[in-house]
Amino acid sequence: MKKLFSLLTIICIILVSNCTRIPENNNPVIGIWSDIEVSEATETAKKKTLRKEWIFNDAYLGRYHQKTDGSIIFKTDFRWTYENDTYTITYPGTDMKEEIVYMQSGDESEMLADNDGNIMATRE
């Protein structure tokens, strides 16, 4: 009897695990987006490069990095949603404000821009 019960339990687990499938997300925002700012050199400080990088994944999550001259100075995870051709990016656990952007295509690249048309990032 124990063998029959164990067999039925294993069959039930297999059936339940096969029924729960994650829907495929092939949103065009998935990938790496970046923005690079270069500060001018002064008499007391050399030129600095600030790179902001958003990595969007298909689970509506991502990773945000800020790098100065190649060294990571800040990183956090973010959540993103897509509704009515706009993306909402939130950074839980930080004091970073929510960003609402949309995707626009340029001559040679795709960009994420805010409602005022300011470019937030370009696709790599």
Q: 102: which 2 tokens?
A: 């949309």
Asked whether residue 6 is domain-assigned, the answer is no
pLDDT tens sequence across 48-67: 899 999 999 999 999 999 99
Asked whether residue 18 is domain-assigned, the answer is no
Asked whether residue 22 is domain-assigned, the answer is no
Q: Which domain holds residue 65?
A: 27-37+47-123
The parts of the chain modelled with pLDDT lower than 50 are none
Model-wide pTM > 0.85 = no
Q: What's the total number of domains in the chain? A: 1
Asked whether residue 19 is domain-assigned, the answer is no
CATH number of the domain where residue 75 is located? 2.40.128
Asked whether residue 2 is domain-assigned, the answer is no
Residues 6+ positions from 90 with CB-CB distance below 8 Å: 78, 79, 80, 98
